[in-house]
A = this chain, B = another copy of it.
């Protein structure tokens, strides 16, 4: 269980006063989907109160850009629900998705003025945005906050490197299987049953993620379907009765 450090310590000693400490936390935060697991968990009640005065929850419809590549970076966000795709584009329009982020991930590049990547809502999402300046200040005097963000950065780096192996060395078939497997594992962290899920990306997005064309993605999906590894309904909903077969098709040992 991940809660505010301060209240966690006290709560364990004086459980009957837990509600009092929770009441110190802004109401919007108490019920927030991202508080457990998100970066806010490292902030003190007073910091949370200060921050919450400047945060804004907002919905972004799928396909809308949250931040553009090379754009000025004035805010960070926590993803409360949905999936965000991070992409890079070349001058001639060729595009590569370089990462996907899921709730309760933290979005934004600390210590840099402008974004190196474009962030776009893959599906309808909800985020909690906060001014960059305030977080940057809190990072400076809350080591736990920097640590939390650092942990996520390291996780993203591990994922990026895994994906480099996929991009550089796997076949189209393995790439598509790797993508499906990755989505199955990430899309619904709570659900124990990973065998059925909705794809958060169109075929075009999947192609941009895998360094393939739409047609090749489609053909490989068809092949996985014909081989009985997956079933597809309405183009978006995938069922995979045997995850182990999918893993093997993905080239993971």
Contacts and interface: CB of A to CB of B under 8 A. Distances in A.
Given A153-B157, A154-B153, A168-B96, A162 B88 contact: yes
A180 to B, nearest CB: 18
Given A143-B143, A251-B90, A116 B158 contact: yes
Nearest to A161: B98
Contacts of A68: none
A233 interface: no
Contacts of A208: 168
29 contacts: A86-B161, A88-B165, A90-B165, A92-B251, A94-B169, A94-B170, A95-B169, A98-B164, A98-B165, A110-B150, A111-B151, A116-B162, A149-B150, A150-B150, A153-B153, A153-B154, A153-B157, A156-B157, A157-B160, A160-B160, A160-B161, A160-B164, A163-B164, A164-B164, A164-B167, A167-B167, A167-B168, A168-B208, A168-B210
Interface residues of A, number: 42
A253 interface: yes
Nearest to A112: B154
A106 to B, nearest CB: 13
Given A96-B168, A96-B169, A109-B158, 9 more contacts: A88-B165, A90-B169, A90-B251, A99-B161, A146-B150, A153-B154, A160-B160, A160-B161, A164-B167
Contacts of A117: 161
> Within the oligomer, what is the number of copies of this chain?
2
A91 interface: yes
A237 interface: no
Nearest to A251: B90
Contacts of A154: 109-112, 153
Contacts of A111: 151, 154
Contacts of A169: 90, 94-96, 211
Contacts of A164: 88, 96, 98, 160, 163-164, 167
Nearest to A162: B88
B149 A146 contact: no
